[in-house]
Amino acid sequence: MALVVFYEKPGCGGNARQKALLTAAGHQLEVRNLLTHPWTAATLRPFFGTKPVKDWFNLSSPKVKSGEIDPASFSPEEALALMVREPLLVRRPLMQVGEERRSGFDGAEVAAWVGLGDQAVPEDIASCMKGHAHTPCPEPEP
């Protein structure tokens, strides 16, 4: 099984479910705080691979949901500069196994990448749990 470096928003219910799925599949997790990690554009960029810039953004972020930020309106350089300043905008989780890095949690992609065993992957595994019956994510400290 793999050692997965897992960057999360502490207290996020969705990230908790994702971590549980990975550990149940036998993976070891090294959990890090996405919001306090000392990101630079160079360290953040590899997590997004060939995804379009709009897919780098956390669509559940208050600034995206309110329309204050339009993920489709940024160049890669602009998006990275903004995300370095405001990591809450980054699509979670960020994961690294060896030198390979990924953003977001698509169950089929993760299963093909590191394996999830014979576990059923809930359809909403990548969804924000705010507003659901689960414990909502706490807001980050100022």
Of residues 92 and 118, more confidently modeled: 92
Q: Spell out a b/e string for 75-105, using b for 16 or more CB atoms within 10 Å of the CB, else e.
A: eeeebbebbbeebbbbbbbbbbeeeebbbbb
Catalytic residue, chosen from 2, 4, 12, 137, is: 12
Task: Check: CB of residue 82 under 8 Å from CB of residue 74.
Answer: yes
How high is the pLDDT of residue 140?
Answer: 47
Catalytic status, residue 128: no
Identify the band that residue 121 occupies on the pLDDT scale cut at 50, 70 and 90.
confident
Residue 120 has pLDDT above 80, yes or no: no
At 129 the pLDDT is 54
Residue 13 to residue 20: CA distance in whole angstroms: 11
- Alpha carbon 20 to its chain centroid, in Å, reads 15
Task: Report which DSSP code applies to 123.
Answer: T
Q: Tell me the pTM.
A: 0.87
